[in-house]
Structure 1
């Protein structure tokens, strides 16, 4: 790997750039987050020259390297103009973008990606680099969405499915404290996922609703106890579309925090993002922070 400055701090906020407008916005947003967290910013560009070496000339590879370093330098200058006191490092990598981001993020950093790269057509959808980074990361990943739409709302939103999402809720509480914002815990449940495809009896619905409310309340009480100075509200909603409810709720949040659950693929070859997580990453109206999680069972559906 080639670095234009130096290796990043282990707890750096790492952001990937590729020359797209979305990546530029993501870099500036990541710089603000680095300042908020009191951490350095590490800007990376994965040029994938290793993968191209067999198919293009050495002259073309050199042009890619020059362009990549110029992109890093220009981005670092733009960040310095906005945040002059921030410590910034840059890195040009011969590997592909996803591999570069995972490696740079390490075990303790935070990775930031834009919602769309150079290869995209629909700006609402998340690009392949963003999806690949989010699906395989072992460290928190933030997908920057909706930052151009409105001013800050003063709310951090956390998706809570059950007691296993306590870590996610605690992470969201810390994010709310950093932003001097309130925290909203949102639990969305689908009755057909809870009882199968057979229409449930009314008593069944009441019992299921009670169980979901109890799970949410347990998480809420723990967060209240651990963060007594934080304004916390919780809400449970029944819907056939978990992603739809979360996307709509994201209109009123500065950040949506959720577990990056991994659902087994049909062939059992590794793990991917679950349906709800996938939908939220494509359509949310605010940045989405995924907390790595490899839970199985019912939790893998999100």
Structure 2
């Protein structure tokens, strides 16, 4: 869907995934569902939450808001691959080389990086993005007049994960629509008898009109790690630009970033990311290393990287982000 004409003024304020009991339809089941039919029977909410066979037959969940916005998330990797405005404009970007047959993580949308962001002792970006997550609950909560569709999925340890990350854990990911906004919340619970550390990120791909027109604002004065030359030994720099623009390969981790960051996409609109708990912001564009698509997207990622999270047994860590479309021409 073309993004060339998108401008929007928000009708609703930001709201993270609600933890209070739903006031309307809510479906919670403990039995693991395996087919789309079973998922719809146990968790589907007509007009708000629907499960479908996605590409390559991989199950996905579709959220629809009464205002006309929508979102799609594959259960494989708990990867949000679409977030559309009521106009039909797509905000996220999925790369043309993306595959959905579970042979590798989905390249685009909002993949997870957990329990490791970037390179390290385990596989790149950890394992959460290449495993099936399990649906735990859905709801469509009036707020106060429209139903906010929500899905919650969980990931726990397995023999596969314990070989890389020798701890028991429960990751809970909540995705919801509040009007035209997309809310994402990640909670990591330590179910082991010993503390563990981790790093994480939401690797958000956002569609832009052209990368040379894209601008990220809100980062001036921050210390950042420039990973463009060597991601394992990044250079430490200080950002002196009011607007971060793109003229070559970009891979920067901005430490202790503000809770509000915006990406101007080149159409008079910007995507605002309002977060809590994430602490850092990653800006990435592959430039000529991906000649077929680099001009069409920019990654602005919420991350927990500069200071890894430490979670004691029985404790948890959580972070949220609300994505909104704003008009920057006013």
Identify whether the pair has TM-score above 0.5, normalized to the shorter chain. Answer: no
More helix by share: 1
Q: Which has more strand, going by share of residues?
A: 2
Largest Rg, 1 or 2? 1
TM-score using structure 1 length: 0.32
TM-score by length of 2: 0.30
